[in-house]
Structures are given as structure tokens and as C-alpha cells.
Amino acid sequence: MDGPDSGPPAALLPEVPQRASLPQQNQGRNANLGSNAMDQTRDQILDRSLDRSPASAPLRALADAFHAMIARSRAEPAADLAERLDRLARLRAVVADNEERFRQAISADFGHRSAVETTIAETMMVYSEIRHATKHLKSWMAPQRIATALQFLPARNRLIPQPLGVVGIIAPWNYPLQLTLAPAIGAIAAGNLVMIKPSELVPHFAGLLKETVAARFDATELLVTGVEDEIAKAFASLPFDHLVFTGSTRVGRLVAEAAGRNLTPVTLELGGKSPAIIDASADLDEAAERIAYGKLLNAGQTCIAPDYVLVPERSLQAFAEKLRAQMRRMFGTDPANKDYTSVISDRHYARLEGLVADAVERGAKILQPARADDPNWKAHRKFPPTLILGATEDMAVMQEEIFGPVLPVLGYREPADAIAFVNRRDRPLALYWFGKDRDARDAVLSRTVSGGVTVNDCLFHFAQVNQPMGGVGASGTGAYHGEWGFRTFSKLKPVFYRSKFNRLADLYPPYGGKIARLEKMMRFMS
């Protein structure tokens, strides 16, 4: 989700050393936990394979902080409604009181990030998530009535949400504020303690988040770690009660492997090649405008950005020209345009250049709304919007997630061909369909599997706080947003309340003639 091969390197799995004591700043708060409970917690962590070998100061600090958080989660009662609402309010204040500082920090990390894009795609999304959770949290926390089987009446069943304990979040760089705090909001609403590891590619943002969170939260409530390489390698090996990773599929597999050693459940928000399908019934001008926006927001560095477009062959050239015109209308031809965001790093810029060069070498045609030979593009680390026509399956641009402002446009003959093309690939994080033909739309919806779909636009299914956001297959597992996040980060505990007035004692030995009566009762109820 944060781009091909981004995130911690392959050597992800070194273990974190066991520490003998809690950090000094947390001793007072945790003094009431009792030494026996503390020692037992440490022993449990040791049993889950944390290493005792010497380590650097950052790793020792990570181990200390983790052990303190685990100890608190095991010893204190679950946070009540008032405490959870207070934590959500404090998290909102972290953003609201430092909004401009976050905009500037993110822009510094990117080289340039459109201030408007940071506002609409990051801060507004965070506010929306917190507002929604605050409004509905009381009802989410309430025990749910579950029907009781006839033979057990008048007993009662309830489903009681309970915090998991300590949730770890490995955050991406592409939308560092929103994709860091959205899962944290769900975890906090569910009553958990949370530890966040920001991306090393956004050090200005990471430092600011660490500072502002520490000013409003105790280190055993919500903690932001450093971005040192050794922290990145060790974080996924900690025995969290739940671990969230947002990033590339390659690194996601490594995170899942590391978490699996502790039997830690994971939510993986990954990526892939998300298609946009243009039906013959579509308004090409409308589709071109909306795909141009969906692709070029954040310079294409969006996990759910359309990664290729399928359009009827007879409309291919016309649509490509309309798409190029819309890109030019939105972002012009000047690399210094403040509305257009830079590519995150020189390495990612070179990777995009390589994808385009490979396509050209293999015979593809390139369409661009601006002169790509202008040296100011590279000087600003902004990649010129690029359409690729005639892309084939052997080209690198069709084999990996692009994660940038490069978009292959391919033709298809029949709607079934477009569906088959999508289904030959890994299941994508998102799919977009444009058109007016309801039967054609429903055929695509029923015959393809993806993390989510927006019809006649791009991206906006992600912004729905009432809908789950998550991948499927290679694009991820698990989901969050709104109540879905609350449930992901809760143990939904089934509880059976036996009534004084029932016949359950008939199940106890000695059985004697009870079997015949039980069989008769079961036949009656079946």
C-alpha cells in the first residue's frame, strides 16, 4: 500500500531483547500493578520468544515500552466509555492543534506535497473517523443480544466486545497522517493501548507525531516509536495482541511471517493493480475527468489509485486523448505547480523512469500532457503524468504495482474479456467501473473479487466511514474504518447466562432413561 518494495528490508525478524525493568517514567503509574503480575507478564513475553541478547539503546527502549504497555493492559480494567472518548478527543487535539505543522512536515518529506491534498485526504479523513467513532461508541460497546436456542430457554446469550490489549501499527509513508491514525482510532475506540511505528521515509512527520502524541498521552496509552532501521526490523516480532501493517505485498508477507511466530493476528492493508473498466455505455468525458483525478491525487502514490484502464477498443484512442486533456486541465504543464505532489524519493523516481523506459523499449506508445524533457520535472522530483498505450503483459508496468502517475490504457473487445483480464491477476485492492448499463455493471460486480469498488468514480469507497476498508488475497486481509475497526480490534466474547429454571441438569450422569427423553425432545425441536 505504500509502494512496491517499500518498508522494512527483508531481514525483518530479529527479536527484541527482554528487559529487566519498566522505564523509569512509567514506574509511578504502574506501581499498583504488583511485582508478581509484572514478573508474570515478563515471563509470558519471554515464553513468546523475545531474545535476551544485548541490543542497542533504541531496541532496549522499544522493549521497555512494550513491556510496560503489556503490563498495564493485563493489570488494569478495560477503559470505560468516558476514558475512550477522552483519548479520542486528545488524539483529535494532536491533529487540530498542529494541523499546519503536519502539512509542512509531510511536504518536507515529499519534497513538495500539495497542501490541499494533505487537508482533504489526511486531516479531514482523521476528523471524520474520530467524529463517527465518538458519536457511535456507546452503542458499539453495548453487549449484543444473541438468540438463545429453544432447548436452553429461558437462558440468555450476549456478545460482549472486549479490548484485545496492545495493538501495534506499522504505518506507511504515502498518507502518513491518515493511514497511521485511522487504525489507531479504531483500536483506541475498542479500548486498546496502541504502539505506532511510522515509516522511515517520512522522518519529519514521524518526529512531529512522536512529539505531539507524547505531549498528550502517557507512554503506556499511545506511543510513537522512532524510525531507526533496527526498530523497523524488530517491531513485527513483538507479541502484540493485534498487528496492523500498511505497505507492499512483499513486505506484508514478511510481517505476517514474523507475527505468525507469536500467533499474533494481523490486518494487512496492501496494494496491487487496481483496474478501471470503462463500459461501452460510459460517458468518456466524465470517466476521463474522474480517472485523471483518482490517478494523479498524491502523484499516483495511493494504494487504491487506478493502476490500469480497460476501455472498448473502438474508444481507446479517443479516451486516451480525453484523459490526457483532463490531466493537463487539472495540473497544467509547469513542474512547479503547487497542486501537483512530488515523488517520495529518488529511488522511487528512478523506478518509475524504469517502468516507462521498459514499456517504450517493448513497443508501447507514450502520451503525456506536458513536455517530459523539461529538466524541472526531475529538479522538483515531480514525475510527468504519463499514459502508456499498447502495454503488453510482458512489460514491467503490467507486472507490478505502479504507485506513481503512470497509467497504462488497454483495449478490450467484449465485456467478458475485460472481466477475464482482471480475473487472471491477483485480486486487487480496488476496482472502478464506469457506465450506465446496470446489467453490465452487475456482471462485473458479481464476477470479480476486489477489496472495494467505486462505481462511476474513483477512490470514494475508501472515504465511507460506515464501510469496511480492506483487501482480499494478495491485496490484504482484515478491515477497519468505523464500527468495522472497532470489531477488528475487539474480542467479541460470547457469554451464556444460565437461567435458574431450565432442564440442563438432565444432561448429567447417570443417564439411565434420559437418552430416550432427550432424543424425543430433539426430534420435537428439529
Residues carrying an active site annotation:
269, 303
Cβ within 8 Å of residue 396, ≥6 positions away: 354, 355, 358, 359
Distances (CA, A) of 149 to 152, 157, 494, 508, 525: 6, 9, 14, 19, 10
Q: Distance of alpha carbon 380 from its chain centroid, rounded?
A: 29
User: Contacts for 504-513 with beta carbons within 8 Å, 24 or more apart?
Assistant: 504/152
**How many other CB atoms are found less than 10 A from the CB of residue 293?**
16
User: In the structure grid, which three cell numbers stand for residue 209, read together?
Assistant: 507525531
User: In the structure grid, which three cell numbers stand for residue 108, read together?
Assistant: 518536507
Residue 81 phi, psi (nearest 5): -60, -45
Instruction: Give the separation between CA 425 and CA 421, rounded to whole angstroms.
Output: 7
User: In the structure grid, which three cell numbers stand for residue 378, read together?
Assistant: 526531475
| Residue tagged 474522474 (cell numbers) | 290
**How many other CB atoms are found less than 10 A from the CB of residue 472?**
18
Q: Is the distance from CB of 383 to CB of 405 less than 8 angstroms?
A: yes
H or E segment to which residue 267 belongs:
strand 266-269
User: In the structure grid, which three cell numbers stand for residue 204, read together?
Assistant: 519529519
DSSP state of 119: I
For residue 243, what are the β-bridge partners?
Answer: 168, 266
Instruction: Give the separation between CA 292 and CA 501, rounded to whole angstroms.
Output: 66
DSSP state of 51: B
